[in-house]
Structure 1
Amino acid sequence: MNKKVLFISYFFPPVGGIGSLRISKFVKFLPQFDWQTYVLTVKKAFYPIVDEDLLKEIPPSVKVVKINYFEPAFWSRNRLWRSFLAYALYPLILFPDRQFLWFLPALISSYKIVKANHIKVIFTSSSPISNHLIGFCLKKITKVKWVADFRDEWTQSSYLKFLTPVHRYLAGILEKLILKNADQITTVSDGLTDSYQTMLNKNSEKFTTITNGFDGQDFLNLNKKLSKNKLVLAHAGSLYGSRKADIFLIAFKELNFKDVDLKFIGLKKRLSHKESLEELAKANVLLLILSPMDNSSVMTGKIFEYLALRRPILALAPEKSGATKLIKKLKVGEVVNPENKLEIKKTLLKMYQKWLKNDLTIPRVNIEQYERKKLTGNLAELFNKLIEKNSKIKLCLIGNIQSSQNQSLCNYFVKKDYEVHFITIKPGNTKGTKTYLLTDSSFTPWYFIKSLYKIKKIIQKIKPNIVHGQDLVFAGIWAYLSGFRPYVVTTWGSDVMNYDKFIKTEKYLIRKTLQKADLVTRQPMDKIIFCPRTIGPIYNIDILILAFATIAEKDKNIRLALLENIADENYLLEIEKLIIKYNLVDKVIFWTKVDNRRMVDYYNQAEVIVSISSSDGCSVSFLEAMACEKKIVATDLPYIQEWKNGKNLWQVPVRNVEATIIAISGALRYPLSKWQKLGEANRRMVAEKAEINNNFEKLNKFYQSLI
């Protein structure tokens, strides 16, 4: 996976609560959408809720970095001390929230993670707002794409009380800075999205609603058996601020039910998320309590898990709340004003009477859209769109543009829609590539230093995504000394063979260049002749072996690849005897038989394709070789004539060793620069389209992984 995202979150398992739950579920499912996920969090959080079960859900592929930070709350476990810090001192001296203490170490660590792992997207979620402050600064420093996730309102919240007007004023400024600078804003409800969209006065393209949800795996093997003798009402989670149950409790007490139980799960004893669900599953009615002041932005995370339990919901919620709208839309329960005792009593009686008649049911509604995995898929799609909006990948090559290999490389990545720049030691150009000439190529120390200075200036101007030195000495060393990361080095045979001849300074620079490189590739030293035909008498593999024996005597860097597709075991034995007789054991390789799609890999590794059968129609392998723009040596059979077009292939008589030697040698010697047009013409002659160069495609994937 070369798509990488960093989550920056103070709250993360084993910390519990809805904020930690949202992040942990995203992190759990993102790898399934081809996103390598990194998480930066704290080793120990100043927060009372712990849920070890959530930690078990994090996939091994997710890389979690936990950091220490200065936190006086850890000096003592005394509740008075911690309450003094949380509710008296911190609100006065820390802004935007008490988690600001982790800001600086988190910023430093997140910067290192982004740079070391080529992170493409960062994701921050509030509360705490300090997470967004880290994201804001990191965005400014690294220019990486940033998604800011809001689970609640901040300055418009009815729950949050600012200590002074100055605090509220500064919060308003920071809130707008976050909204303006984030590449994307996500929220947990349409109401919250509308609120922030209005605040920023922007169109909807920057905003996406990704609600909280439920994880179907959490509901497997739950004991959902209900009591036959009692109606059980259950509420999970904490009540705080203006979210109170006092009027409801008065109404409930006045009704004086004898066969109704009321449970507030997690108030007396903290339970894990899984344990809470197990208790809720035993209830007939699920109780949802909101504040009378809650607006359309308030949905609450627990409502989606209530939906997954398929139980009627009794919501004490204002008409304008997001939760009310959802319950009424899906027809999954009753909604009453939390301050209207009479209405609460009427609704309780109504549900009680339905229970007595065994009629306390809700319609089976489709809630698939609220599944955590599907919601994570929506987030992954948002990430994908963000990185797709990036400008072209800028590739800066250093080397000799006159090399046919380098010209082919440039052409390939131009076709891949890269923006290709080439800093060259020799004059030249290729279509679609911008070139920069290093003058006075005398290869003296002064030339080396002067060129390095010029290269650094060019790289600063280009601002590439990748720098690639097309040899170790000097291009690779220049790439290393430029100070740019990531950089790639391609080594040549001469780089390795001449190492002992270099002076100490050169050897030191070579070692450092190889050690610091993000990727080291090598130019293939062996030329490969490939025969894609079945090993059987009709395909004349014995003639090919005899011809190859002569060719291999003259060229030590050549190999013959045969396909491990055997039609005749006795004939194979004959071939093996010839290989041993002519000392070709190290020269002849057998490639495993693969499907048609992977055969393209084999063609692209070869310089010449040989098909010298005694009798044949127009074979698939012949067309595949043409489609891959390869030089082809084939027997002069009737089908060849319809594909013959000047010098676009080499023909030989059937079972003629001498002619086969001449044809293969001629194909190997034929200049790549001249063959290019002929190969392209061959490709155009066949209907099938295929990848032209598998090695370049692999390099493309390496490039992608480094950015």
Structure 2
Amino acid sequence: MSEPGCKKVLILTYYWPPGGGAGVQRWLKFTKYMREFNYEPVIYTAENPEYPSIDESLLKDVPDNLTVLKTRVWEPYKLYKWFTFQKKGHKINIAFLNEQKKQGLTEKLAVWIRGNLFIPDARKYWIQPSVRYLSRYISENPVDLIVSTGTPHSLHLIALKISNKLRIPWVADFRDPWTKIYYQQSLMIGRLASRKHQKLEQRVLQNANAVTVVSQEMKRQFEEMGTPDVRVIPNGFDHEDFTDPAEDQTSMVPDQHFSITHIGTLFPLRNPVKLWKVLSELVRENKDLAKDLKINLVGAMDYAVSKSIDETNLGNWVNRTGNVPYQEAIRLMRRSRLLLLLIINTPDAGAILTGKLFEYMKTGRPIFAVGPTDGAVAHALDETRTGHIVDFDDHVSMKRQIMEYYNLYREDKLTVTPHNIERYSRKNLTGEMTDLFNEILQTK
């Protein structure tokens, strides 16, 4: 229950427990610690969302007596499933991931319709009903501040309308870019639709009291668009996720194998084709490595990634696991000898600072990243001394770095000591976010 004098902040988020996946974590963790900074969160979310996965374990982080407002949302996914001959209970994956086969003509047509007719996204028909509902709610239950978090960016349009209508300060939080998102080209967006996306994006960026992003590179992108006030508040880790008293202590003992573990969705743009080839070469050339190696891939996997692995004959070394509960993912990270971080291979890959990185850091296991060597991830690894990164196509460096890690494993010296990671604790980051709230309200 909130303390007297707490300011109220209305948080608009599509992703909320029991929904699973990366989209839930950021505002679930802010909400968890917000009362300690004299803010009472009120959540607005969907009553009938289409989540790619469900994780009931995340409900433990929802504060007691939290007000959670829900309304029904109409999304076109039932039509999509019918149109693409998928079963009613089939989960819609993120980033156009296809686990079973290559994308067919009907899937491509459905994606074109999504990109060109459902602007900004498939939740567009939730905007007006949400504005009506929340306007009534706020008239009876005033709030001091509104936060919208995207994706989906329809949440920003809801907040824009309410903020303008009721004159309430508003923070637009971008977990991901909008028109510069990595899968924008995959949507096959035409020129007219592209202009509409850009116009809506500009309305949000110019009208929000502040825009928050997760990396310096994203900040630069938005500033180049003329956004007046952009703040960087990155993702992070929660100490409590790593100090569960009920957890078996053996779960923190590293694997006996030289285990390389990737946690998260593997879609085509995150498919490290060169890395699979390097690992295939190494197991052929080094009998000891072939005996010790184990590759754990935890999360949904696109057909194209599975095909790449099979083509390089790595099947005997790969353990493919689907989505797992969040706490189980943490356990698997802590047991692994080496944590694999794969950056999306796009022109704007340098701006990406995935939330998984900070959880990797907290484990104390070395991180091996594949991506731009001058991007946000590279800077974070260098700052915290938690790992190394090699470029997408740098065959020689990949091979050398893996062998360095393997030799350290053989000597039982494959460890890191994280440096200056405390600023990335979820509690400290909540303090940064509420400091921004205070600044906005003081200048209201």
Say yes or no: TM over 0.5: yes
Report whether the alignment pairs 1:117 with 2:141: yes
Aligned residue for 1:218? 241
State the TM-score, normalizing by the size of structure 1: 0.53
Aligned residue for 2:312? none
SS in 1 for 2:123: helix
TM-aligned CA distance change 1:320 to 1:147, over 3 Å:
same
Identity %: 28
Report whether the alignment pairs 1:185 with 2:218: no
> Offset of 1:327 from its aligned partner?
0.6
Following the alignment from structure 1 to structure 2, what is the Cα–Cα distance between the partners of residues 269 and 361? Answer: 27
Aligned residue for 1:92? 116
Report whether the alignment pairs 1:170 with 2:224: no
Following the alignment from structure 1 to structure 2, what is the Cα–Cα distance between the partners of residues 201 and 100? Answer: 23
Superposition pairs for residues 149-548 of structure 1, below 5 Å? 149-161=173-185, 162-200=188-226, 202=228, 206-221=229-244, 223-228=251-256, 230-256=257-283, 257-267=290-300, 268-293=321-346, 294-390=348-444
Deviation by residue 1:105-133 (Cα, 9 ceiling, x = unmatched)? 22122222322211110000111110111
Aligned residue for 1:616? none
- Structure 1 residues not aligned, in runs of 5+: 391-707
Following the alignment from structure 1 to structure 2, what is the Cα–Cα distance between the partners of residues 338 and 96? Answer: 31
Deviation by residue 1:324-382 (Cα, 9 ceiling, x = unmatched)? 11112222112111222222111111110111112212234121100001101111111
> Offset of 1:45 from its aligned partner?
1.1
Q: Is the 8 A contact 2:13 2:43 kept in 1?
A: yes
Q: What letter corresponds to residue 290 of structure 1 in structure 2?
A: I
Following the alignment from structure 1 to structure 2, what is the Cα–Cα distance between the partners of residues 100 and 321? Answer: 33
Report whether the alignment pairs 1:11 with 2:19: no
Aligned residue for 2:61? 57
Q: Is the 8 A contact 1:150 1:185 kept in 2?
A: yes
Which of 170, 175, 189 aligns to 1:146? It is: 170
> Offset of 1:95 from its aligned partner?
0.7
> Offset of 1:261 from its aligned partner?
0.7
SS in 2 for 1:104: helix
Q: Is the 8 A contact 1:36 1:61 kept in 2?
A: no
- Per mean C-alpha deviation after superposition, the further-off stretch among 306-315 and 359-368 is 359-368
Q: What letter corresponds to residue 206 of structure 2 in structure 1?
A: K
Compare CA radii of gyration and give the structure with the larger one: 1
> Offset of 1:181 from its aligned partner?
0.2
SS in 2 for 1:288: strand
Q: What letter corresponds to residue 227 of structure 1 in structure 2?
A: D
Deviation by residue 1:593-625 (Cα, 9 ceiling, x = unmatched)? xxxxxxxxxxxxxxxxxxxxxxxxxxxxxxxxx
> Offset of 1:315 from its aligned partner?
0.4
SS in 2 for 1:123: strand
Deviation by residue 1:117-160 (Cα, 9 ceiling, x = unmatched)? 11110000111110111111111101100000111222223331
Following the alignment from structure 1 to structure 2, what is the Cα–Cα distance between the partners of residues 232 and 191? Answer: 32
RCO higher in 1 or 2 (8 Å CA, sep ≥ 6)? 2
> Offset of 1:32 from its aligned partner?
1.7
Following the alignment from structure 2 to structure 1, what is the Cα–Cα distance between the partners of residues 159 and 183? Answer: 25
Following the alignment from structure 1 to structure 2, what is the Cα–Cα distance between the partners of residues 355 and 64? Answer: 47
Deviation by residue 1:85-116 (Cα, 9 ceiling, x = unmatched)? 96243333211111212212221222223222
Following the alignment from structure 2 to structure 1, what is the Cα–Cα distance between the partners of residues 260 and 331? Answer: 14
Report whether the alignment pairs 1:134 with 2:187: no
Report whether the alignment pairs 1:22 with 2:26: yes
> Offset of 1:305 from its aligned partner?
0.2
Following the alignment from structure 1 to structure 2, what is the Cα–Cα distance between the partners of residues 104 and 237? Answer: 34
Following the alignment from structure 1 to structure 2, what is the Cα–Cα distance between the partners of residues 201 and 62? Answer: 33
TM-aligned CA distance change 1:278 to 1:180, over 3 Å:
same
Following the alignment from structure 1 to structure 2, what is the Cα–Cα distance between the partners of residues 383 and 4? Answer: 11
Q: Is the 8 A contact 1:234 1:264 kept in 2?
A: yes
Aligned residue for 2:99? none
Q: What letter corresponds to residue 226 of structure 1 in structure 2?
A: P
Following the alignment from structure 1 to structure 2, what is the Cα–Cα distance between the partners of residues 80 and 22? Answer: 34
Deviation by residue 1:478-523 (Cα, 9 ceiling, x = unmatched)? xxxxxxxxxxxxxxxxxxxxxxxxxxxxxxxxxxxxxxxxxxxxxx
Q: What letter corresponds to residue 211 of structure 1 in structure 2?
A: P
Deviation by residue 1:272-320 (Cα, 9 ceiling, x = unmatched)? 1111111111101100001333443211110000000011100011123
> Offset of 1:198 from its aligned partner?
2.0
Q: What letter corresponds to residue 283 of structure 1 in structure 2?
A: S
TM-aligned CA distance change 1:320 to 1:364, over 3 Å:
closer
Q: Is the 8 A contact 1:313 1:333 kept in 2?
A: yes
TM-aligned CA distance change 1:153 to 1:70, over 3 Å:
closer
Q: What letter corresponds to residue 125 of structure 1 in structure 2?
A: T
TM-aligned CA distance change 1:89 to 1:168, over 3 Å:
closer
Following the alignment from structure 2 to structure 1, what is the Cα–Cα distance between the partners of residues 269 and 397? Answer: 19
Following the alignment from structure 1 to structure 2, what is the Cα–Cα distance between the partners of residues 244 and 110? Answer: 42
SS in 2 for 1:291: coil
> Offset of 1:245 from its aligned partner?
2.3
Following the alignment from structure 1 to structure 2, what is the Cα–Cα distance between the partners of residues 360 and 32? Answer: 38
TM-aligned CA distance change 1:77 to 1:160, over 3 Å:
closer
TM-aligned CA distance change 1:164 to 1:93, over 3 Å:
same
Following the alignment from structure 1 to structure 2, what is the Cα–Cα distance between the partners of residues 201 and 76? Answer: 35
> Offset of 1:31 from its aligned partner?
1.5
- Per mean C-alpha deviation after superposition, the further-off stretch among 87-96 and 340-349 is 87-96
Q: What letter corresponds to residue 186 of structure 1 in structure 2?
A: T
Aligned residue for 2:85? 80
SS in 2 for 1:261: strand
Q: What letter corresponds to residue 258 of structure 1 in structure 2?
A: K
Cα root mean square deviation, aligned: 2.0
Q: Is the 8 A contact 1:291 1:318 kept in 2?
A: no
SS in 2 for 1:80: coil
Q: What letter corresponds to residue 142 of structure 1 in structure 2?
A: L
Deviation by residue 1:531-566 (Cα, 9 ceiling, x = unmatched)? xxxxxxxxxxxxxxxxxxxxxxxxxxxxxxxxxxxx
Report whether the alignment pairs 1:35 with 2:35: no
Superposition pairs for residues 603-682 of structure 1, below 5 Å? none
Deviation by residue 1:175-227 (Cα, 9 ceiling, x = unmatched)? 1111110001100111111211121164xxx2211100001101114521013
SS in 2 for 1:296: helix
Following the alignment from structure 1 to structure 2, what is the Cα–Cα distance between the partners of residues 367 and 158? Answer: 27
Q: What letter corresponds to residue 269 of structure 2 in structure 1?
A: S
Deviation by residue 1:399-444 (Cα, 9 ceiling, x = unmatched)? xxxxxxxxxxxxxxxxxxxxxxxxxxxxxxxxxxxxxxxxxxxxxx
- Structure 2 residues not aligned, in runs of 5+: 93-106, 284-289, 301-320
